[in-house]
Structure 1
Amino acid sequence: MIQKWRSRREGETFRRSVFVKLLLSFMSILIIPVVIGSLLYGRMEQAMIDNAYDSNQALLQQTRVSVDSRMNEVDQLAAQIAFDPTLQLFLYEENNRASINAYTHIQLIKSLKRYRTLSPFVDDYYVYLKPSDRIVTTTVRTDPVTFFRDMNEYSNLSVDEIKSILSHYNLRTYLPSEPIRYDQMQRNMLTSVFSLPMGDSTEVLGSLVVMIDEAQLIGQLRKSNQRNTDFYIIGDDGQVLTTTSASRDAIDGIMPRLGGAKGDFTASFGQREMLVSYTKSNQNNWTYVSVTPKTIVLAKVNETKSLAMVLVLLCMAGGMTVAYYLAYKNHRPIRELIHTILQGKNMSGSHIRNEFAFIKNELLSSIVEEKQMRGMFSRQKPVIKSDFISRLMRGYVDTARLTDTDYAFMDVSLPHPHYGVILMQIDDCRRFVQEDTEREWTLVRFILINLSNELLAGNGYAIELERDRVGILLNVAEPSAEEGNELDRVLKAIRSQMESKFRTSVTVAVSGMKTNVGQIAVAYGEAVTALEYKPLQAGDDIIYYEAVKNIEHHYFYYSLETEAQLMNYAKSGDFINVEKVLNQLFEINFQSRSISPEMAKYLSSELMSTVIKLLNALNMDDETFFGGEKETFKYLARFSTSEEMRDTLKRLYRSICDKVAGERSDHSELLAVKIRSYIERHYASNELSLTSIADHVGLNSSYLSTFYKKQTGHNVTEYITALRMKEAKSLLEGSELTVAQIAQKVGFANDIGLIRVFKKTEGITPGKYREISHKEGLDNEAVL
């Protein structure tokens, strides 16, 4: 219960940190197309509005040109009537009373009627004669009261108001259209007033009134109206002359915004948004205005918007589901990583508030530890390098298995094809040291090593071998190691500087040059052999093996290093290298040196002593190898030739190496059985891992994996999975346990892991497998 609470607590902590960040990241990606769509919709909406503005402006321009043309006809009509001679006679009636009679009145009526054909746009016109206070039309002459009360009655103006307008100066004055009862009908008429005589503002003698039917003025606009657009014509005094709208006062609020020659803008008319376009006429200063409901223009867009909103909501719902799934899926490896870290560092009880901070801290901690290890390694690297070169020279390294990576790891580079060994024996350093302490000897070796590395210039590595001995592994391009060449000059320079600067005498022994790495140990033996000739050299302290190898010897060569090589190779079961050392040993003693028969007996005893020491070290029965011979020292002495002695030794060492290899094979098989047994006992535990198995058998986990694969043909994980799947199938077939319960019993943390592995190995889910197995069981029972 506590564990479940802790897991839930950790899960909540995770979701509050990385999970939430992942979810918000995916959600932000989801919002991007929504924002882009909104911007595109805004652009599309504005494009529709701009298109409506352009359409309205085109219609207004067309209307303005048409109306201006009609108004020009009115102006021409007014000009011709105003200058009519008969009308002029009546305007100056006081001066022409003698000429005015009933006939002249009839002439005036006829003259006015004559102008009716000039403009079909004009509905009617009449003249007000101020001196006689009379109205003259194209059909009658009467007084103003009778005319405006019975013949031409204005709905919004009284007779006195109309007479006042006609009595004052008017230069092309237009009265807003209003209903006028005219010829027993009522129509909306636009009234245009011109003072007479025309152009004289000082003395008004009358007025010409032109009546324009409003239907003629805006009929074309109504025909073109496809979007419920209202049109207004506003006079130069700011009054609405005519409109298609039911209300003239609707545009009062936008009057101040109609200042330019033309324009477009959006305005609110009550609760409705309207698109307003206007243009002005230069002829009469009229302003033509169109007002279109924004909803009409954007009707199709709004339909698309509604559909898009539904789709966006659906996409948002689906996107949030996918975002949650992706966040959970991407967060899962982080949780598993953290749990692995917690388990690996035994921190399972810790509570993590911020996974990234935790991983960062652990990573930094690992980096610090790695740096510390690297620093420790770099400090130990010279020691490791020196030890590797020392073992390489003495033949303790299996050169056949070395790779470039191994050399690089040891910081050793051998680019040239020829190899050799130089031994430097410190003979006398008493003039340099004072107390003969280990510290002073270390300083002498340090000086000799650094001087050698400097003068060799990358053609070799100098290392410590013993208290008074330094070794050099040569790697050169030219296979010459003899007196007078470049190497000889370098070695003489080393001896000379040690003598002159540090007052230390040194003896140098140089091996022959070899052509592969495997012969470095042979070169080391040659250098040791050359160094043994130091007492025989008269003043020459650089000894070349090539110069002394043919000298007659009265003693045999079998150094402690050679003995150690033989024993180490035999202990590892490496007969190939054992054979190489034996061949070299017999070549030096019986071919190069030609030792005496007496020395051969001593050598035989030494070789047999090495075999006995080897058998004792390996806890092997010596009588088994010597054919029951109890006096083992006589085993080799009975052979008369060196070839027989060498062949016998090879047979002995082959038997020992085979025995060692066989025991190793038996041990490997026992180890594989032990590993397999441990897995079979613990496969049902979800804590079973490669690391726990390696800890049990005392091996490194990576070596364990390679070893088990080599021994059995399959890796550890495959074997664990096979055991778990076998047990899972058995439980699915013969029990009523749930998949989750079976998962716990076969070593999985949860049913998800079992389902995934089961489907991968068997091709079907556990539930499907149970269904099939039960069905087959029922079929078998039916057959029985």
Structure 2
Amino acid sequence: MKRLLRPLGIGHLRSVWMTMLISNLVLLLIPVSMGAFLYTKVEASLESGANRSNQAMLEQLKLSLDSKLSEVQKLAQQIIFDPKLEYLLKLDQDAGGPDRYQFIEFMRNTMSRQGSLTNFILDYYVYFRNSDLVLRPGLLTDSHKFYDMYYSYQGMSYDRWRESMLTSFHTMDYLPSATLLRTAEYDPMQSIEKTPLNVITFAQSLPGRDRRDITGTFVILIDESQIKEMFAQIESASDSSIYIVNSDGRTIMATDRQPLPGELLSRITGTGGLFNQTINGDQKMVSYTSSEKEGWKYVLVTPKSVFMQQIILIKQWALILFALCLAVGLTAAFIFAYRNYSPLRKTVNAILRGTEWSGRPQVNEYELILQSIEGSLHTEKNLRSLLAQQTPVIRSNFLLRLLRGQMDVDASREGGQSLRFMDITFVSDDFSVMVVQLDSIARFNAEPSEEQWALARFIVSNIGTDLIEYPHKAFAVELDRDRVAIVCNFAAEQAEGGERVTRELATALKGMIEERFKIDVTVAVGLPHSGARASARAMRKRRLP
């Protein structure tokens, strides 16, 4: 280390330099440690925020879908609890014309009245087992013809459809999404509207009191595309897959063809939550919430890279910035330590060159500097005494340069410190200027002389500075043998009344000088101005009051 430091000229004083370097490193570690702590908090906050965002979107989806499902339940209750339905369920295939008319009347009075439904419900129908009839708004036909000519499920035969849906027992069941084939043989002109459509099927056995006494089934077809429209915003925003799972763990519908693994389904318990899950080797974040109405669970599966995208990006930037800051900090610590020590070294060398020292002093650098300062302070006292004698001249010269615009006004605390030695303190940067022209001092003294002119200027200067109202201030400066300028400085909180104060001061000054001291004067007043060179502008724009 000594050999490395010797080219820098600090080989013999390396302990001081090392102390400075260690101090800089300690100062560097403080913000670095605070930054690392803050990063962990930010990461946890972002992860919690992303979780809350996902949960909020799922809750919004749940509320919207529950509202739509209320329409399904309302429709089911209106149809199922109609008193005529129980009578129709008892009729068999051999029912005559009057009984047949009862079906048509039920279709017209009950089935067709539900015309205010939204697009969420695609269609609905009632199956009568004893008569093997299917009744929907505007249609009455047997089940075989209904399945062949109107609604059939892709990959499902008539027998399987009849057995699994119409004759099996269902209690407010929502069956998994399936593709509904809508044929158009009966009305070829509607073929464009009869394209296949994915639907969720709601089934309720009739009358529903006994599993062994099933005389019919009420079926509602729910348009899956309406649900996917609700999913679209969440799906596109987070590149996620959304699943609806019933209380038995069956997937009612999903936006992804890939089914949920059993291990994941077993972890979906309670009213909601968030957990990590590996699916086919990919890390996923799984959020879910439960619906109390149907017992469904809404599951949002998001790639962890997407869920943590913002956090990962921040982590990468944080590591880059940490490494950069550490490298820059170490370099800066070395440079600043050297730069901070360099003046000390130069100071010591300068002191040694300017004094009569033989060889290296025995005291350390700080002791040497202290002795030099004590000597300098003694010299400074003598200089200050000399400067105090020159203060009036310096003050007058400063005010003259201020009026000519050769310098800016600094009304700050730091600026005031620099002017204190001249007994000048500005309270703001709002100024006006009065110029007092001594027209004649004949009444003041019949034999004017330079001494009398100086006395007259002194009187005008002192009275002009004493008459201004507190907290405003005034400063006088002699411009010529017969001319005195008074610089008015207005307090910031009362700067708006500066023009009034200036005019009142000019009037009072003129009256007192002429009446009490018999000096004829003319007073020109400059309007108040603000800014660094306000006094110069006020000087140029003065006028008679």
Work out the CA distance in 2 between the residues paired with 1:146 and 1:248.
35
1:132 has 2:143 as partner: no
Q: Deviations over 1:631-650 (max 9, x none)?
A: xxxxxxxxxxxxxxxxxxxx
Structure 1 residues 239, 29: CA separation in 2 closer, same or farther (over 3 Å shift)? farther
1:70 has 2:73 as partner: no
Q: Deviations over 1:76-135 (max 9, x none)?
A: 211222233443233112599467654344334434542432532321011222223333
The answer to whether the 8 A contact 1:53-1:275 is kept is no
Q: Quick one: which amino acid aligns to residue 282 of structure 1?
A: E
Q: Which residue of 1 aligns with 2:187?
A: none
Q: Which residue of 2 aligns with 1:427?
A: none
* Residue correspondence of structure 1 range 29-428 to structure 2 within 5 A: 30=28, 33-94=31-92, 97=95, 101-111=99-109, 113-117=111-115, 119-120=117-118, 121-165=120-164, 166-183=166-183, 184-223=194-233, 226-243=237-254, 245-250=255-260, 252-270=262-280, 272-322=282-332
TM superposition score normalised by structure 2: 0.51
The answer to whether the 8 A contact 2:93-2:130 is kept is no
* Residue correspondence of structure 1 range 751-766 to structure 2 within 5 A: none
Work out the CA distance in 2 between the residues paired with 1:150 and 1:99.
24
The answer to whether the 8 A contact 2:277-2:285 is kept is yes
CA RMSD of aligned residues (A): 4.5
Work out the CA distance in 2 between the residues paired with 1:37 and 1:185.
60
Give the CA deviation at 1:25: 9.3
Give the CA deviation at 1:223: 4.1
* Residue correspondence of structure 1 range 708-747 to structure 2 within 5 A: none
The answer to whether the 8 A contact 1:127-1:207 is kept is yes
Work out the CA distance in 2 between the residues paired with 1:21 and 1:94.
105
Work out the CA distance in 2 between the residues paired with 1:215 and 1:73.
17
Residue 196 of structure 2 aligns to a residue whose secondary structure is strand
Give the CA deviation at 1:194: 0.2
Work out the CA distance in 1 between the residues paired with 2:70 and 2:360.
104
Residue 121 of structure 2 aligns to a residue whose secondary structure is coil
Residue 114 of structure 2 aligns to a residue whose secondary structure is helix
Structure 1 residues 313, 93: CA separation in 2 closer, same or farther (over 3 Å shift)? same
Q: Deviations over 1:51-76 (max 9, x none)?
A: 22223333322332232222222122
Give the CA deviation at 1:176: 1.2
The answer to whether the 8 A contact 2:205-2:218 is kept is yes
The answer to whether the 8 A contact 1:112-1:137 is kept is no
Q: Quick one: which amino acid aligns to residue 201 of structure 2?
A: T
Residue 239 of structure 2 aligns to a residue whose secondary structure is coil
The answer to whether the 8 A contact 1:152-1:180 is kept is yes
Q: Quick one: which amino acid aligns to residue 121 of structure 2?
A: V
Residue 47 of structure 1 aligns to a residue whose secondary structure is helix
Q: Quick one: which amino acid aligns to residue 135 of structure 1?
A: V
The answer to whether the 8 A contact 2:130-2:215 is kept is yes
Work out the CA distance in 1 between the residues paired with 2:152 and 2:163.
15
Give the CA deviation at 1:689: 7.4
Structure 1 residues 269, 23: CA separation in 2 closer, same or farther (over 3 Å shift)? farther
Residue 47 of structure 2 aligns to a residue whose secondary structure is helix
Residue 243 of structure 2 aligns to a residue whose secondary structure is strand
Work out the CA distance in 2 between the residues paired with 1:70 and 1:285.
15
Work out the CA distance in 2 between the residues paired with 1:689 and 1:279.
81
Q: Quick one: which amino acid aligns to residue 39 of structure 2?
A: Y
* Residue correspondence of structure 1 range 455-474 to structure 2 within 5 A: none
Give the CA deviation at 1:292: 3.7
The answer to whether the 8 A contact 2:242-2:299 is kept is yes
Work out the CA distance in 1 between the residues paired with 2:97 and 2:18.
107
Structure 1 residues 206, 318: CA separation in 2 closer, same or farther (over 3 Å shift)? same
TM superposition score normalised by structure 1: 0.37
Q: Deviations over 1:545-568 (max 9, x none)?
A: xxxxxxxxxxxxxxxxxxxxxxxx
Residue 315 of structure 1 aligns to a residue whose secondary structure is helix
Work out the CA distance in 1 between the residues paired with 2:44 and 2:156.
45
Structure 1 residues 92, 20: CA separation in 2 closer, same or farther (over 3 Å shift)? farther
Structure 1 residues 283, 304: CA separation in 2 closer, same or farther (over 3 Å shift)? closer
Q: Deviations over 1:341-365 (max 9, x none)?
A: xxxxxxxxxxxxxxxxxxxxxxxxx
Structure 1 residues 328, 313: CA separation in 2 closer, same or farther (over 3 Å shift)? same
Q: Quick one: which amino acid aligns to residue 154 of structure 1?
A: Y
Give the CA deviation at 1:307: 3.6
The answer to whether the 8 A contact 2:151-2:181 is kept is yes
Q: Which has the larger radius of gyration?
A: 1
The answer to whether the 8 A contact 1:93-1:100 is kept is no
Structure 1 residues 250, 35: CA separation in 2 closer, same or farther (over 3 Å shift)? farther
Work out the CA distance in 1 between the residues paired with 2:361 and 2:233.
90
Work out the CA distance in 2 between the residues paired with 1:282 and 1:199.
24
Residue 329 of structure 2 aligns to a residue whose secondary structure is helix
Structure 1 residues 201, 119: CA separation in 2 closer, same or farther (over 3 Å shift)? farther
Would you tell me which structure has more strand in proportion to its own residues?
2
Matched length: 333
Give the CA deviation at 1:190: 0.6
The answer to whether the 8 A contact 2:93-2:132 is kept is no
Ranges in structure 1 where 5+ consecutive residues have no aligned partner: 8-14, 332-682, 692-700, 702-784
Percent identity over paired residues: 30
Q: Quick one: which amino acid aligns to residue 216 of structure 1?
A: Q
Structure 1 residues 62, 310: CA separation in 2 closer, same or farther (over 3 Å shift)? closer
Q: Deviations over 1:141-164 (max 9, x none)?
A: 344444334422212543333222
Structure 1 residues 112, 96: CA separation in 2 closer, same or farther (over 3 Å shift)? farther
The answer to whether the 8 A contact 2:124-2:218 is kept is yes
Q: Deviations over 1:483-523 (max 9, x none)?
A: xxxxxxxxxxxxxxxxxxxxxxxxxxxxxxxxxxxxxxxxx
Structure 1 residues 132, 95: CA separation in 2 closer, same or farther (over 3 Å shift)? closer
The answer to whether the 8 A contact 2:240-2:302 is kept is yes
* Residue correspondence of structure 1 range 5-24 to structure 2 within 5 A: none
Residue 135 of structure 1 aligns to a residue whose secondary structure is strand
Structure 1 residues 315, 66: CA separation in 2 closer, same or farther (over 3 Å shift)? closer
Work out the CA distance in 2 between the residues paired with 1:157 and 1:23.
82
Residue 123 of structure 1 aligns to a residue whose secondary structure is strand
Relative contact order higher in (CA < 8 Å, ≥ 6 apart): 2
Work out the CA distance in 2 between the residues paired with 1:90 and 1:321.
92
Work out the CA distance in 2 between the residues paired with 1:303 and 1:32.
24
Would you tell me which structure has more helix in proportion to its own residues?
1
The answer to whether the 8 A contact 1:129-1:207 is kept is yes
The answer to whether the 8 A contact 2:243-2:299 is kept is yes
Q: Quick one: which amino acid aligns to residue 330 of structure 2?
A: M
